[in-house]
Structure 1
């Protein structure tokens, strides 16, 4: 079944449709490099408090640059940003201790153990309580499944273990906001499931989680809200279920032998578009026509109706429709 076109204007393009308190907000955020490349273009990002926000887009769409601007690692060319109601970068020193982050392949000291690397991070944080540092480091390592490798040198870690240590660093203390850039990079299927469980656990405890990822299948299982980037611009964002529900639904009618042609004529007469016949099945774009009216019309026309299915587009289909690119959904 082909993907139907989603109208971004109906479901919140650009500024999105988020209402209520926001954990992350940007207005016209822009980053233009000296080369002239515009990595992020007039971005209005809206991440509601308590949400798991799936920040999606193909490589080069501007996701990581956006995250770097939010965390004060890159200075924006124009626009404004707020984290937990605090303007950044102006108030970064005050608000960032409430934010945990994992950005693009975390770097640690190769000759120190995982535990010692976390200890150095703790020592560099003037807002952390040194009396509880060892306990919190142990809890963070246990939470990401690294307790057994806590005293192993970082240079001996696999890619997946390095990613887990980056997650542990983000979880050294309770956070109001967690920003994760490709958190499952290098993880095996079990590790990916553990991260998914961890995200749910954090969200249930009240932490807002912004997750940037190419693994759409993983994001779709945990996110409550979605933002889709393309070439530096936000093309669609809002509540995940609302985005899918507002997608253009398609109708599939399964007929008995010899009545598919008549079914197609009925659907066309009702005003359905893109009517196609394939054997005993007839597909069409449903539009504003009610499925129950279609069923009645088919029966009255003498069509042997064996099945009728209404299908909304998946999140992956919406992404492909808006960006023209696919996702790495295999893991």
Structure 2
């Protein structure tokens, strides 16, 4: 368990044994111990139905845990909600807005309900938030005419009305097209560069993997693993693939073994280069890829191609569970 000192100083979000059991007996969250460092982009990842949204609702005081405790920005929740939540921006489960008000008017209503907001700068901050999420052109359009992606963008704008120490974004790319998804990735990086901690919940692991510095992976209510993203993907060894002339496959294999690479094998699959080429694979280990290519060239091996396959977070998840991320549970 993380110490109290860590909760107060180094962690923006911490939970200890956080559990949610419904009356039906279903355990949605089972003994969760989250540790989100301050300043991190924490990818809270898992298939739909794995317990991510329930966890977020408990963190924000929207649902009461059956057991366990939670802290945001060093303060216990929900006891310190009145003091902590003004420092937290959140997008949870597709926000609800007034359908006949414009996007700008909806933000103005939300802003008016924030006791910490200066009403004299409300319009300026609403316009700035709309601009950050690409909704300036639709600022005066009624919310009921917004597409799903535009509604999601307005929810992000609501979370950005004030400077926040912590942003909690639940499925922020839901309903967005590829361009919108890229813009959200850019926004998350921008927020982190500005000093905020960002917790991003998503079932789209490949998308969030591109921006997160830390990761927690959920499955069926349990946290399978968490930590720095780079360290988690290094759990599985990187593989090297070398493509050369068919007649030089044995010489290439000898070079790879001479460098200490393990599990050298010939890949029997058909290659784009046709029958005249051969592909060898090996466990890369600590050897730099550039050292491999230099050694092959020095040995007179024609190097047609060299690739390094580093495991993704999804591969790590599949290795742990035997299941993919596209199946709702």
Shorter-normalised TM-score: what interval? 0.7 to 0.9
Matched with 1:321 is 319
1:140 pairs with 2:129: yes
Do the aligned partners of residues 152 and 76 (structure 1) sit closer, same or farther apart at CA in structure 2, a change above 3 Å counting?
same
Deviation (angstroms), 1:116 = 1.7
Question: Which structure 2 residues correspond to residues 149-164 of structure 1 after superposition, within 5 A?
Answer: 149-164=138-153
Give, in whole Å, the separation in 2 of the partners of 1:157 and 1:109: 12
Matched with 1:9 is none
1:203 pairs with 2:199: no
Question: Which structure 2 residues correspond to residues 172-183 of structure 1 after superposition, within 5 A?
Answer: 172-183=161-172
RMSD: 3.3
Deviation (angstroms), 1:248 = 2.2
Matched with 1:6 is none
Question: Which structure 2 residues correspond to residues 87-106 of structure 1 after superposition, within 5 A?
Answer: 87-106=76-95
Deviation string 1:293-321 (CA, Å, 9 cap, x unpaired) is 999x999xx99685765532123322332
1:240 pairs with 2:238: no
Give, in whole Å, the separation in 2 of the partners of 1:289 and 1:173: 48
8 Å contact kept, 1:114–1:150: yes
Give, in whole Å, the separation in 1 of the partners of 2:206 and 2:44: 13
Deviation string 1:133-159 (CA, Å, 9 cap, x unpaired) is 222112111221222222221111111
SS in 1 for 2:20: strand
8 Å contact kept, 1:50–1:203: yes
1:214 pairs with 2:212: no
Deviation (angstroms), 1:325 = 3.6
8 Å contact kept, 1:261–1:277: no
8 Å contact kept, 1:260–1:277: no
1:44 pairs with 2:33: yes
8 Å contact kept, 1:176–1:208: yes
SS in 1 for 2:174: coil
Matched with 1:283 is 281
SS in 2 for 1:221: coil
8 Å contact kept, 1:113–1:153: yes
**Structure 1: which 5+ runs fail to align?**
1-13
8 Å contact kept, 2:70–2:77: yes
Do the aligned partners of residues 33 and 256 (structure 1) sit closer, same or farther apart at CA in structure 2, a change above 3 Å counting?
same
Matched with 2:72 is 83
Matched with 1:62 is 51
Do the aligned partners of residues 134 and 275 (structure 1) sit closer, same or farther apart at CA in structure 2, a change above 3 Å counting?
same
Question: Which structure 2 residues correspond to residues 287-306 of structure 1 after superposition, within 5 A?
Answer: 306=303
The alignment's TM-score, normalised by the length of structure 2, stands at 0.82
Deviation string 1:175-195 (CA, Å, 9 cap, x unpaired) is 000000111111122221221
Do the aligned partners of residues 110 and 243 (structure 1) sit closer, same or farther apart at CA in structure 2, a change above 3 Å counting?
same
SS in 2 for 1:228: strand
Give, in whole Å, the separation in 2 of the partners of 1:244 and 1:40: 25
8 Å contact kept, 2:256–2:264: no
1:189 pairs with 2:187: no
8 Å contact kept, 1:253–1:305: no
8 Å contact kept, 1:56–1:213: yes
Give, in whole Å, the separation in 2 of the partners of 1:154 and 1:289: 56
1:118 pairs with 2:107: yes
SS in 2 for 1:226: strand
The alignment's TM-score, normalised by the length of structure 1, stands at 0.81
**Structure 2: which 5+ runs fail to align?**
270-277
Which of residues 211, 225, 237 is equivalent to 2:214? 225
8 Å contact kept, 1:55–1:226: yes
Deviation (angstroms), 1:237 = 1.2
SS in 2 for 1:194: helix
